[in-house]
Amino acid sequence: MPSYTAPTRDMQFILHDVLNVSQQDIPGYAELEPDFTGAVLEEAGKISSEVLAPLNPVGDTEGCVLENGVVRTPKGFKEAFDQVREGGWPALDLPEEYGGQNMPYILGTAVGEMFSAANQAFTMYHGLTHGAASAILAHGSDQQKTTYLPKMASCDWTGTMNLTEPHCGTDLGLMRTKAEPQEDGSYKVTGQKIFISSGEHDMTDNIIHLVLAKIPGGPEGIKGVSLFIVPKFLVNEDGSLGDRNGVSCGKIEEKMGIHGNSTCVMNYDGATGYLLGEKHKGMRAMFTMMNEARIGVGMQGLAQAEVAYQNALAYAKDRLQGRAVTGAENPDGPADPLIVHPDIRRSLMDQKSFIEGARAFMLWGAELIDRSHRGEDEAAEGLISLMTPVIKGFLTDEGYDMTVLAQQVYGGHGYIEEWGMSQFTRDARIAMIYEGANGVQALDLVGRKLTSDSGKHVMAFFDMVKGFLKENEGDEALKKEFLDPLKAASKDLQASAMFFMQNGVKNPNAALSGSYDFMHLFGHVCLGLMWARMAKAAHAALDAGTSDETFYRAKLATGRFYMQRRLPATALHLARIESGAEPVMALEAEAF
């Protein structure tokens, strides 16, 4: 059975050596001293390894079962959920007035990676609750906040988001679910929603559904969509639970993975709903939830890559097969461990260099969110808004590929469910799809984010990279190995952006044909930047003298691998982007 050990040391390195969080001028960051974050991460790591990880294969094997309208979650999920709730984990970064601990988002992100790596299907129950709570926090009335937030912060009640219908996923303007106004100010919601994660389950007394629906007579298409709070059980004025609402689970989907999470078809039959935010501005309110969810999904890509890598590494060290081509390294044993073989090493380095770069990228992104929300820094908001599709799309694509590499290290055993590697791959697969399929992320990036505010945010990104290069140009230790490759990659990104600007206006297809490559190119540059920053921090620690030399030297070796073996992918992406729309669109749809 696979295991999971929280990468606390690596997280501490990023938080303190690289991002230097406790010195940042962001409200709440002063308390993020190494001892404090270390203690929190230690505790979160413990519950991840000891409680959540052992339930991961249980969730996969048992799945969720719908019987007589009630969904039974896998054995042990409820007890673990209680334990997570009692630890206050779901509300780490929610406001104190609603029962949260008001810690920075960056800390919640580090903890989230651990929970997600240990058990993605399980973590979604409180992850989505957090997203729903955020939407209520941002758009709810005072009464809505006091009614729902304390119970959601504690996860006494969980939350869901309801967007998709059978005939409409990305194109929500086609939505049919309707919400008819009632005399008391509430609405009657009627329609069917599909792919509702955690839609129904047996772990809490109530479930708060956030549901997109159209108020009859409103504007056509996406402009006529509103957001509603639809509780499973209505809530009385005193906070106690009242009648069962007209919402039920019609079916649980059989999926490729995340079997431990109940993915439900939800039927709304005149269910009582309450408008959240403004009429017909439902998408705006939903986007509060979606942006957070997208970053959380990017993290899932990283998390599954991490847990898969840990197990692949253990297997590569343990499994004896063949001899090193340069001479036996385990001469007393019947064979050498797999890790002596260069191609196994190549695979492990691909995984390791991605994971550590991606973790820095995630935590830096989380810092930008804190800077934006807590510090009300508009530049940071612009930057994270630009990078949200990159975090979601790039990290989930790459994260998935890494689980496939990890599975491959196991050879035939990787294909056998008992060994657990297949689950990581199957679970990771969903992250490329939900919260907007990655093609939609690429479209969002190139079609919207790149040009928003006249391209201000992408220019700020380039300025930041240039600033970093300039600031460190005298650093010989960094120059050839880290700064030069970063500069080359960043030039490829600029050339791509330039290509879109020059060609995208007269032919939008010229830009959109390269959107997916651009998302990956951007991701590589971000990871290249992260590796350059981490290399700088590692050199600083080594120069200052450290008892942990092995750690910092490994960091440099891993970074060099990324710069030499992964980052050059930017040139390929640029070549593909610059080939424009012609190769992609030349064939008429009918000629396929």
d(CA 465, CA 528): 10
Among 321, 379, 477, 541, binds a second copy (CB under 8 A): 321
> Does residue 591 interact with a second copy by CB under 8 A?
yes
Q: Which residues of 413-435 are buried (b: 16+ CB within 10 A; e: fewer)?
A: ebeeeebbbbbbbbbbbbbbbbb
Binding string, residues 328-367; x marks residues near a second copy by CB under 8 A:
------xx-x-xxxxxxxxxxx--x---------------
Nearest CB to a second copy, comparing residues 177 and 245: 177
Phi, psi of 26 (to 5 degrees): -130, 130
> Does residue 412 interact with a second copy by CB under 8 A?
yes
Instruction: Please say whether the beta carbons of 50 and 42 come within 8 A.
Output: no
Smallest Cα–Cα separation from 394: which of 273, 520, 517, 488?
520
# residues contacting a second copy (CB under 8 A) = 92
Nearest CB to a second copy, comparing residues 116 and 164: 164
Instruction: Respond yes or no: is residue 183 known to be catalytic.
Output: no
Least distance to a second copy, CB of residue 316, Å: 8
> Does residue 170 interact with a second copy by CB under 8 A?
yes
Smallest Cα–Cα separation from 256: which of 128, 393, 120?
120
> Does residue 539 interact with a second copy by CB under 8 A?
no
d(CA 300, CA 124): 10
> Does residue 326 interact with a second copy by CB under 8 A?
yes
Nearest CB to a second copy, comparing residues 227 and 312: 312
Contacts of 425 (CB under 8 A, 6+ apart): 257, 308, 400, 403, 404, 407
Set 356, 398, 435, 481: catalytic member: 435
Coil vs helix vs strand at 280: coil
User: Which residue has tokens 């930047």?
Assistant: 529
Stretch that binds a second copy, among 279-287, 296-304, 411-419, 452-460 (CB under 8 A): 411-419
Least distance to a second copy, CB of residue 22, Å: 28
> Does residue 425 interact with a second copy by CB under 8 A?
yes
Coil vs helix vs strand at 97: helix
Q: Distance between terminal CA atoms of the chain? A: 45
Among 46, 178, 188, 255, binds a second copy (CB under 8 A): 255
Look at strands 157-162 and 206-214 and give their pairing: parallel
d(CA 184, CA 591): 56
Among 30, 174, 464, 505, binds a second copy (CB under 8 A): 174
Nearest CB to a second copy, comparing residues 234 and 433: 433
Nearest CB to a second copy, comparing residues 67 and 592: 592
Among 257, 260, 298, 528, binds a second copy (CB under 8 A): 257
User: Which residue has tokens 């969903």?
Assistant: 430
> Does residue 417 interact with a second copy by CB under 8 A?
yes
Packed helices 53-62 and 421-429: angle between N→C axes, nearest 10 degrees: 70
Least distance to a second copy, CB of residue 551, Å: 9
Packed helices 378-409 and 342-373: angle between N→C axes, nearest 10 degrees: 160
> Does residue 91 interact with a second copy by CB under 8 A?
no
> Does residue 508 interact with a second copy by CB under 8 A?
yes
Nearest CB to a second copy, comparing residues 241 and 404: 404
> Does residue 265 interact with a second copy by CB under 8 A?
no
> Does residue 416 interact with a second copy by CB under 8 A?
yes
Nearest CB to a second copy, comparing residues 36 and 415: 415
Least distance to a second copy, CB of residue 480, Å: 13
d(CA 167, CA 440): 17
**Active centre residues (catalytic):** 435
